[in-house]
Amino acid sequence: MSQPIVVPGGPPVNIILLGPPAGGKGTQANFLAERFGMVHISTGDLLRARAKFLPSLAEYLSSGRLVPDDVVVSMLKERLADSDCSRGVLLDGFPRTRAQAESLEKAGVNISAVIHLKVADEVVIERIAGRRIDPLSGKIYHVKDNPPPPDVARRVIQREDDTPEKIRTRLVTYHQERDAILDFCGNRVKTIHVGDGSPEALPADVRPMCVFDEVRKALEGDAYWGSVIRSELIAKAFECGTSSSTMVSLARFFEHARFRLVQKGCLADAAASSAQVVLRSQSLQLASTLQPLVHYDLRTWLEEVRMHSVLLGHTISRRSLRGTETVADGWATLVFLDGRGRAMEVPGAAQLQDLAMSRAPKSSRTNPPKVIAERMGDAPGNCWHHDSCVAAVDVDLRGRVHEASCLAYMDRWRFLAACNGGYPPELEMSILRARTRQAYVAYMGYAAAGDRIHVRSWARATEEGILLAFDAAKDSSSLLQGCLLLSQEDLSKL
Ligand code: ADP
């Protein structure tokens, strides 16, 4: 359990943002101020405003040297005495020396957390060299990563201290002082690595919203799980075994990770603005079966934000002497429904868009409805028919069939049909024996316990293996269409 340091609407807290020049402190401060209502105080901005009337100050700023502690400290104290600071403050650019950090304590300013943005020097240099400022709005642009619109481009300026030599001076000073400040702040420091080569580092060209995702995780503790759900698990014996049981277990693990994204992860705000969030389609691909007592890493992330749905990616992998081996992966689309059950535009799509991290080439993503339609075609007139009844054990808290149970049902129907002569006789033995490698499901409706379901299933032999199609309906309205790919190949890589 990690306790939240800041709660939206909760008691005011003061936070320090520590990082190199152009490390993204200002941007994060704006996000934080918006979310938690604190006041953003940038000592750089305060000093620049004063330097217009004080040439001695201007000299420090244009050279990139630090302004003497006593000047900055008294200026900050004056600002902290303003009434708005009782909402809590975000200190951006202060402290820059250990003496400044100590002065906060002496002044009785209680600091709850220090967000330390550890950004590689090369990243900083690249960012500053391209940094441009709109003198009218104060907005910051980057010539390459975030170019100003044409009408603004004509008036943007480069800060006097943003030249390569002055950046180096500022970086040297920063590195000299940083460790002493971190040391003073002790366990209040939360470090976020950007492009610094550490295993947990975010990529150098990371989007600001992804950094904010990490900042939120650091400050909100277990109240926010972020846009990537990572967990480790040891599969239990009953979750392993055949590819069919692995498939069902994976559906359960992935469902749980999605639940976390929707409850307390990056989709929580979007979910709160809709009546319900439902699964529209999913696909699962197995490379090998789960084995008991083996450690697995599970990851679920926001892959893409579309007009009416979000696409999530899943993987489960195991670390071995040979490196990291993917055991299975999958995709799932979620839709947000309004009170009348109609799909809404994804709430807060613009912000979510910035969190989406497309890791796989589009072509490798499977679109279940398309796969099902292309591979299976329409049900032949003489296909296997069966009536099932939904068992109470298969429904979730909302009274709907668990997605893992949907996969389990498809597997049960497969055996029922095969044993009742529902498939071509020459495929029957293979259908009973072959392993499931892929599953695609598209959900059109949802069944509840006790519902009678009418199922149709048919099989087709292809080069990839045997394809089984399932089409389930309740009162002649479609509930789900699914497709399993079975193959004789050995899946169990022990
Ligand atoms: P950056 O973080 O990109 O260096 P800032 O706007 O924070 O930009 O600071 C600009 C300049 O203002 C610094 O190079 C330094 O001269 C001065 N300055 C800002 N904050 C402090 C501080 N806490 N102590 C001393 N000098 C400061």
Q: What is the pLDDT of residues 70-84, one digit of tens each?
A: 999 999 999 999 999
Average pLDDT for 42-63:
92
CA-wise closest residue to 328 among 251, 226, 232, 236? 251
Residue 216 has pLDDT above 60, yes or no: yes
Least confident of 236-245, 300-309, 359-368, 469-478: 359-368
Percent of the chain clearing pLDDT 70 (strictly above): 97
Residue 320 has pLDDT above 90, yes or no: no
Cα 443 to Cα 162: distance, rounded to the nearest angstrom: 54
Residue 50 has pLDDT above 90, yes or no: yes
For ligand 1, is residue 100 a contact (CB within 6 Å)?
A: yes
CA distances from 40 to 33, 44, 90 (A): 6, 12, 5
Q: Is the dihedral of CA 163, 164, 168, 169 positive or negative?
A: negative
- pLDDT confidence band for 360 (50 / 70 / 90): low
pLDDT number for residue 140 = 86
Residue range 138-156, pLDDT digits in tens: 888 999 888 999 999 999 9
Cα 309 to Cα 267: distance, rounded to the nearest angstrom: 11
Q: Is 340 a catalytic residue?
A: no
pLDDT number for residue 431 = 94
Higher-confidence residue of 323 and 212: namely 212
Active-site position among 127, 166, 170, 318: 170
Average pLDDT for 22-47:
94
Phi first, then psi, for residue 259 (nearest 5°) are -60, -40
Residue 262 has pLDDT above 70, yes or no: yes
Q: Point out the ligand 1 atom lying closest to the alpha carbon of residue 128.
A: 3
Measured in Å, residue 115 CA sits from the centre of ligand 1 at: 17
| Distance between first and last Cα of the chain | 35
CA-wise closest residue to 76 among 57, 99, 48, 95? 95
Q: Is 106 a catalytic residue?
A: no
Q: Is 437 a catalytic residue?
A: no
Active-site position among 98, 118, 159, 216: 159
Average pLDDT for 115-129:
93
Measured in Å, residue 462 CA sits from the centre of ligand 1 at: 67
For ligand 1, is residue 159 a contact (CB within 6 Å)?
A: no
Measured in Å, residue 294 CA sits from the centre of ligand 1 at: 51
Q: Is 170 a catalytic residue?
A: yes
Q: Which two tokens stand for residue 213?
A: 């995702």
Are 466 and 459 a contacting pair, CB within 8 Å?
yes
Which residue minimizes the CA distance to atom 2 of ligand 1?
21
Cα 93 to Cα 58: distance, rounded to the nearest angstrom: 17
Measured in Å, residue 66 CA sits from the centre of ligand 1 at: 6
212 strand-pairing partners = none
Higher-confidence residue of 183 and 361: namely 183
Q: Which two tokens stand for residue 394?
A: 């298969």
For ligand 1, is residue 20 a contact (CB within 6 Å)?
A: no
pLDDT number for residue 446 = 85
- Burial classification of residue 351, based on how many CB atoms lie within 10 Å of its CB (0-12 exposed, 13-18 middle, 19 or more buried): middle
435 strand-pairing partners = 487
